[in-house]
Amino acid sequence: PPAPPQHAPLPVLFQDEWYVAVHKPSGLLVHRDERHPDAPAVLQIVRDQLGKFLYPVHRLDRATSGILIYGFSSKDAAALQAAMTDGGAHKGYQALVRWPGSFPELGDRWVCDRPLHDEKDVPREAKSEFALVESFRRCALIECRIYTGRYHQIRRHLNHCGRHILGDTTHGKGRLNELYRQRYGLDRLFLHASRLTVQHPRTDVLLDVQDPLPIELAGVIDKLRTEAAADSSAAT
């Protein structure tokens, strides 16, 4: 069979002799599975890009973009996994969410610790923290921090709070997704893993990896800011 098409190299955000962190684009698998045996995936792309074996430390949903980190040995990957469960580690995301006038009790900063059911319908402890960054007409840019790593945790918690992520075709609203696609060019999930801080298991210094919003998401924010400025001018 023909070889799968080659994917462009991924931007490297951090690399030393034990770990590498890269930017994962939205729509790209973390690794291949039985349903997508020949699809491009970050693990294979970066392995070929660096010429080294890689061992996953954590995952991102296919639709989510942002920081993905791998170890160059299974031992180092496991050590970083353990460090990321420590209370001092920080996994930060940015999301554009529906921001209705209701739910004032949530305020501009809130925590959701509603348990989430796994694939066997067993409730699992989950905790997410959210904070307002910038508000617009009917939506807002927020920062998200997760303390647990449940399936679709941020998306499910925000949906439970009535502030689902725009562009979310699983937990969001199709009508709103279409509106933001047509008006602002948002044709993907607006969820981005923007920052990872964790104690480096080998050097014992704080590893701080950051990844700014990709151009397609930054463009949506620019359009929202332009619209907000026009609304402000019209009001005055």
Q: Give catalytic residues, as residue numbers.
A: 61
Candidates 100, 157, 103, 102; CA nearest to 125 is 157
- Calpha distance 139→41 (Å, rounded): 32
Please report, to the nearest 10 degrees, the dihedral formed by the alpha carbons of residues 19, 31, 22, 148 taken in order: -80
Concatenating the DSSP letter of every residue in 4-53 gives PPPPPPPPEEEE-SSEEEEEEPTT-BSS--TT-TTS-BHHHHHHHHHTS-
Residues in the chain: 236
- Calpha distance 81→58 (Å, rounded): 7
All residues at 6 or more sequence positions from 219 whose CB lies less than 8 Å from its CB, including other chains: 185
Burial pattern 15-37, b for ≥16 Cβ within 10 A else e, equals: eeebbbbbbbbbebbbebeeeee
Candidates 135, 172, 137; CA nearest to 154 is 172
